[in-house]
Amino acid sequence: MTSRPAAQARRPTRRDADRRFGIRLFGSAAVAAVAAVLFGLLLVLVESGWHPLRRLDAGAARWLNRAALDHPAWTGTLRFFSDVVWDPVTLRAAVAVLTLWLVYRRAWRLAAWSAVTAVGGGLTGVLAKIVVERARPALPDPVAHAPGFSFPSGHAMTGMTSFAILLLVLLPVVRRGFRPLFWAVAALSVLGVGFTRIALGVHWFSDVLGGWALGLAVVALTGWSFEAWRADAGLGRTEMAEGLEPELSGDDPEAVGPAH
């Protein structure tokens, strides 16, 4: 029989866990709200032709274009990463393979979250481009060309959503000691995607910021929804920094933290 002091000692732990879960849900919603506001602000500044932003965009485009013209080997490397490694088709294919793997593992809801986040993010980006209809940079000596409208950057947005999906799904199956490395690779890749698009002269700096903000808003909203579902289903609470579904790790005690 459990003693009264022991039972009372457990109750604060439960309440603390509930409070942490609520904070995480609120944090996800706050991130989504901040990202959406940032995107909306950028959109207003772009549409109004705000002079300081136009000057920043133009200055960055000219400076990076000169660097690209002076260093053709460097430009070739940027093209390889932008058009092959970090191309939206490549990243979406990686997410599609991940989603199929989740279906194979019978992680149905996580597979649905992955698919909805990727597809919803892509459609949102296309819709935003159509609404804004911003022209791409027109440089005297371009080193690359891209079709379609400019704001927001599809590469930047796809990079944000795709690497977020890969991280939040796969972190539970990665040993704790390697998780900081995975976070670092993902962060550098997202930054790299944006840099290559500006350096190649096919996007303005504000296009990339808009893509990152909109992608972050999509991931935060869908991640918040998934966490809310876990709460409704009575499943263990998760640490967002360690993945969305700890149960995916199986029985490896080093690959996942305790679900309270």
Percent of the chain with pLDDT over 70: 79
Q: How far apart are CA 203 and CA 232, in angstroms?
A: 42
Structural tokens at position 247: 């149960």
Of 101 and 233, more confident:
101
Residue matched to tokens 């000219």: 62
| Confidence bin at 2 (pLDDT 50/70/90) | very low
Residues with a catalytic annotation lie at 155, 203
H or E stretch including 113? helix 108-132
Instruction: Measure CA 33 to chain center.
Output: 15
Q: How far apart are CA 250 and CA 150, in angstroms?
A: 43
Structural tokens at position 23: 């904070």
pLDDT tens digit sequence for 192-239: 999 999 999 899 999 999 999 999 989 988 888 777 777 766 665 566
Q: What is the pTM of this model?
A: 0.81
| Residue 134 phi, psi (nearest 5) | -85, 135
Report the candidate in 182, 177, 181, 167 with the shortest Cα–Cα distance to residue 255. 177
The arithmetic mean of pLDDT across residues 112-118, rounded, is 90
Instruction: Measure CA 60 to chain center.
Output: 24
Cβ contacts of 243 within 8 Å, gap of 6 or more: 167, 168, 169, 170, 171, 172, 256
| Confidence bin at 154 (pLDDT 50/70/90) | very high
With a cut of 90, say whether residue 184 has pLDDT above it. Answer: yes
pLDDT at res. 162: 96
